[in-house]
Chain A
Amino acid sequence: MRFIFKTRYEQDINLFQHGGQMFWYAVLGLVLMAAPFVVSSYVLTQLSQIFIYSIVAFGLMLLAGFTGQLSLGHAAFLAVGAYTEAVLAIAGVPFLVSVPLSGLFAAVVGIIVGLPALRVKGLYLGIATLAFGTIIEEIIARAEPITGGNAGLMVPPINLFGLRFADGPAFYYLAFAFALAAGLILINILRSPTGRAFVAIRDSEISAQSMGVNLAVYKTMSFAISAAFAGVAGALYAHNIRFLSPDQFTVVQSIELIMMVVIGGLGSIHGAVYGAIFLIALPQAINAVKPFLPLFLSEATGLQPTIFGLVLVLVVLFEPLGIYGAWLKTRTYFDLFPFYRQGMFRRQKAFQKSDRLK
């Protein structure tokens, strides 16, 4: 058990709370740096995917987990980023220019999508984002001269300083760097006044407004930042998958993205990463256990969605903080070893705030 004796207010917002944390993050960083020398190229590709989805999850966590705005159209931002990057890369724009542009363009779209958020909230906002997502998907499918439509679009590999970041370790390190940067940006946003304004909006819009938080500005900003994260992730996604088609960015994909952050644990940065790991690792895990299942189960195509849905329902019912919450409980158990009690994390009985009263 560690006690942190705080003597300055700044200690509350330190990047690392104590030396132990710094140590373990350093270990994790070293392990990830060393990974390409140890694991197979297949695992490496999966790890790159986890990094890319972590970036999306960071953005979505900021929006859904910290600002409390439900988005059911996030795949559209991913699509905007991916297609912008692909089109720019084909046009020969260097990677270092095209990635910020992808993020920027996605952010602009995010601002447009965020506009309804100023008038509607909760469920209506979810439906508005769902509608936007569908429309953007349809636009991409129809804008054939630019996006290749339903036939798809081939994406050239990244060319940076004359080096090719096509696949394997090179792309892995690139994705790692981007994910790390995204994580740091998110942490820094959250420990700044902006981040505290976001959290205030999530907890109570009326209180936030009374304390002088400009709802319109901050909600739009949250959408823009979240979309920019998704856009940058989309740019990397385009280079990783190398082939884009509109059916990679459907409503179902959007719903999987929001599932990712809910299962990971709404309202925690770690949760975003756990969710990304879950999303990528689950199909692999299912494939791994398939040979041991009875034939009618292993042959079924519906196995993965079933397990996904089941985990989601169980998480919301029994572990509202998701995977992060489970980890928190385990850690506290060992921290306080003989003194952990059953009710320590009991959910407070909440009374739903009615959406009907606006």
Chain B
Amino acid sequence: MQFIQLVISGLAQGCIYGLIALGFVLIYKATETVNFAQGELLMIGAFAGLFASTVLGLPYWLALVAAMIATAIVGFGLERVVLRPILGQSAVSIVMVTIGIGYMSRGLITMLPVVGTDTHTLPVPFRGEVFRVGGLVISAEHIVIIVTTIVLCALLAALFRYTKVGVAMQAMSQNQLAAYYMGIPVKRLSSLVWAIAAAVAAIAGILLAPLTFIHANMGLIGIKAFPAAVIGGFTSLPGAIVGGLIIGVVEQLAGFYLIEGFKDAAPFIVVLAMLIFKPNGLFGERLAKKV
């Protein structure tokens, strides 16, 4: 019973990792950039949600949508202003730029007068509610996280499957040049992908808020989402979610059954094993180099 309980909370935590990893994968597939500021986008999304629900007084679900839109605009702008000029430069410089953006946004958020370095609580309608199923105690927050993630994944899958934009994005991620020749507006789509990734991060942030509160450093959780993305193969959207779930569950179980200290290191031990034995991840595509 205890085991199942741990697995459920691990799954909920894993959904958050999965959503962040989803952002990495979306951006990586479309533009071959790794966004080290994904965690900070999550933080911005959480703060936007906080602003919408406390200052503007919007109800929870509307605040979620508002935060998504606001963060999507931030993501769109970042791609347009900062990343597009260095497109085609070496991977290191692009990584450094996103790290710099992350640093800046973490610093800037503490400079906002009311925010500062305090922790904030997002008012949620289902706070503290629990469901008892058999001998299990499941908190409403966990259920909301899991259900929202499932819905979001279904929406994204539908987007890629059935809409013109989604198919164009798929084409772009397979071969940018060929997509360009086919008349797909590659540049505009890259911005759009960043916006989508940012919106996903905002959702993750708002879902995470009841578990960890909202503060300037909550974006550092992004570092733990890297293992999730790598386990999933970094190029597979379902892989990202599965990787996130694996990391979440492993972390919970390691925290309970192993000695103290393993909880934080467990995701990284898993990812190292993965990189050594199966560097392409569970769902990664293997492409051979043509000379």
Where the two chains meet, the residues of A that have a C-beta atom closer than 8 Å to any C-beta of B are: 64, 68, 70, 115-116, 119-120, 122-124, 126-128, 130-132, 134-135, 138-139, 141-142, 206, 251-252, 255, 258-259, 262, 266, 296-297, 300-313, 316-317, 320, 347, 349-352, 354-358
Task: Let me know if B92 is at the binding interface, CB within 8 A.
Answer: yes
A105 → chain B closest CB, angstroms? 20
Distance to closest chain A CB from B276 (angstroms): 6
Whether B272 and A116, one on each chain, are in contact in the complex, defined by CB atoms closer than 8 angstroms, is yes
B288 at the interface (CB under 8 A from A): yes
State how many angstroms separate the Cβ of A271 from the closest Cβ of chain B: 14
Contacts of B117 in A (CB 8 A): 301-302
A128-B272 in contact given A308-B103, A351-B88, A356-B235 (Cβ < 8 Å) = yes
- Chain B neighbourhood of A351, CB < 8 A: 88
Tell me if B111 and A300 are in contact (CB < 8 A).
Answer: yes
Complexed CA–CA distance, A336 and B95 (Å): 35
Q: Are A131 and B111 in contact (CB under 8 A)?
A: no
| In the complex, chain A residues whose CB is within 8 Å of the CB of B97 | 312-313, 316-317
Closest to B85 in A: A317
Q: Say yes or no: B107 contacts A119, CB within 8 Å.
A: no
A119 lies within 8 A of B104 (CB): no
- Which residues from chain B contact A316 at a C-beta distance below 8 Å? 86, 89, 93, 96-97, 100
The answer on a CB contact under 8 Å between B96 and A258 is yes
Give the segment of B43-51, B135-143, B194-202, B222-230 that binds chain A: B222-230
A119-B275, A127-B271, A302-B111 given. 11 additional CB < 8 A pairs?
A: A119-B276, A124-B234, A126-B34, A131-B269, A135-B268, A259-B99, A297-B111, A306-B108, A312-B97, A350-B89, A355-B32
Cα separation A143 to B7 with both chains bound (whole Å)? 29
Size category, B interface:
35 or more
The answer to whether B107 and A306 touch across the interface, beta carbons within 8 angstroms, is yes
List 30 A-B residue pairs with CB atoms under 8 Å apart, sorted by A's residue number.
A70-B92, A116-B275, A124-B275, A127-B230, A127-B271, A127-B275, A128-B272, A130-B268, A131-B226, A131-B275, A132-B268, A134-B265, A135-B269, A251-B223, A252-B220, A255-B103, A259-B99, A262-B92, A296-B111, A297-B111, A302-B110, A302-B117, A309-B105, A312-B96, A312-B103, A313-B104, A320-B93, A350-B89, A354-B32, A357-B290
CB atoms of A302 and B109 under 8 A apart: yes
Question: Residue A349 contacts which of B88, B220, B289 (CB distance < 8 angstroms)?
Answer: B88
Tell me which residues across on chain A come within 8 A of B93, comparing CB atoms.
262, 316, 320
Cα separation A131 to B222 with both chains bound (whole Å): 13
Contacts of A358 in B (CB 8 A): 287, 289
From 73 to 100 in chain B, residues with beta carbon under 8 angstroms from any chain A beta carbon are 82, 85-93, 95-97, 99-100
Report yes or no: A313 in contact with B230, Cβ–Cβ below 8 A. no
Q: Given A116-B276, A122-B91, A134-B265, are A309 and B289 neighbors across the interface (CB < 8 Å)?
A: no
The answer to whether residues A303 and B268 also contact, given A130-B226, A266-B92 and a CB cut-off of 8 A, is no
User: Which 6 residue pairs across A and B have the least CB separation, nearest first?
Assistant: A309-B103, A306-B107, A309-B104, A302-B107, A312-B100, A302-B110
CB-defined contacts of B88 to chain A, threshold 8 Å = 349-352
**B110 pairs with A310, CB closer than 8 A:** no
- How close is A229's CB to chain B, nearest CB, in angstroms? 19
B binding-site residues for A, Cβ under 8 Å: 32, 34, 82, 85-93, 95-97, 99-111, 113, 117, 216, 220, 223, 226-227, 230, 234-235, 259-261, 264-265, 268-269, 271-272, 275-276, 279, 285, 287-291
What residues on B are CB-neighbors of A135 within 8 Å? Answer: 265, 268-269, 272
Chain A residues within an 8 Å CB radius of B34: 123, 126
Contacts A123-B91, A317-B82, A354-B32; is A138 near B265 (CB within 8 Å)? yes
CA distance in complex: A312, B102 (Å): 11
A209 to chain B, nearest CB (A): 12
Nearest chain B residue, comparing its CB with the CB of A358? B289
Question: Which residues of chain A are near B287, meaning CB under 8 Å?
Answer: 356-358
A126 and chain B: residue at smallest CB distance? B95
CA distance A296 to B261 in the complex (A): 39
| Pair A302/B113 contact, Cβ less than 8 Å | no
| Inter-subunit contact A123/B95 (CB<8 Å) | yes
Which residues of chain A are within 8 angstroms of B113 by Cβ–Cβ distance? 296
Pair B227/A255 contact, Cβ less than 8 Å: no
Q: For B276, what are the chain A residues with a Cβ–Cβ distance below 8 Å? A: 115-116, 119
Rounded to whole angstroms, the CA-CA distance of A80 and B104 in the bound complex is: 29
CA distance A313 to B85 in the complex (A): 12
- Report how far A315 CA is from B223 CA in the complex, Å: 24
Closest to B224 in A: A134
A317 to B78, CA, bound (A): 13
> Which residues of the other chain, A, contact B107 by a CB distance below 8 angstroms?
300, 302-309
Give the docked Cα–Cα distance between A127 and B268 (Å).
9
Minimum distance in angstroms from B226 CB to a CB of chain A: 5
Residue in contact with B272 in the complex, picked from A131, A305, A307, A354, CB distance below 8 Å: A131
